[in-house]
């Protein structure tokens, strides 16, 4: 699923780390694929995916929550809260489709939360 991302900054110490803005949400990502030259301040079509070291644990939000947000944790980790649609798209202020969510079809149509180790971004 293509999204429009604006480059905010590059990490001088970690070559593949980048900060982008998507729909007024800033997030730190690691570049997975980038066959083009990218520049700060410019916008590009991108795809996002989750990177999880151990195992992904997706669970339903508490009944009274129904929150859509990304919360940055330590070391580029994120807590994602959002609506998981019936076609497996997670809305966290913008839509993300990741094949890891296919194992959680029993939560389709629900507000969910999950932690990921990092967000991967692919350009082009």
Contacts of 104 (CB under 8 A, 6+ apart): 58, 84, 112
Say what the pLDDT of residue 75 is. 83
Kindly report the length of the chain. 124
Question: If you write DSSP's letter for every residue of 63-82 in order, what string do you get?
Answer: TTT---EEEE-GGG-EEEEE
Contacts of 76 (CB under 8 A, 6+ apart): 17, 28, 30, 117, 118, 119
Per-domain boundaries in the chain: 3-123
The series of mean pLDDT values per 10 residues for the chain, 124 residues long, is 95 94 94 96 97 92 88 91 96 94 95 96 93
């Amino acid at each position: 699923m293509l999204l429009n991302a604006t480059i905010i900054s590059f990490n001088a110490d970690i070559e593949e780390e980048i900060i982008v803005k998507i729909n007024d949400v800033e997030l730190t990502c690691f570049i997975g694929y980038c066959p083009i030259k990218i520049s700060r301040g410019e916008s590009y079509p991108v795809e996002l995916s989750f990177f999880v070291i151990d195992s992904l644990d997706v669970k339903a939000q508490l009944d009274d929550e129904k929150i859509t947000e990304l919360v940055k944790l330590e070391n580029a980790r994120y807590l994602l809260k959002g609506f998981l649609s019936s076609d497996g798209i997670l809305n966290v202020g913008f839509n993300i489709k990741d094949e890891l969510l296919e194992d959680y079809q029993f939560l389709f149509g629900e507000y969910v939360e999950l932690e990921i180790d990092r967000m991967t971004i692919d350009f082009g």
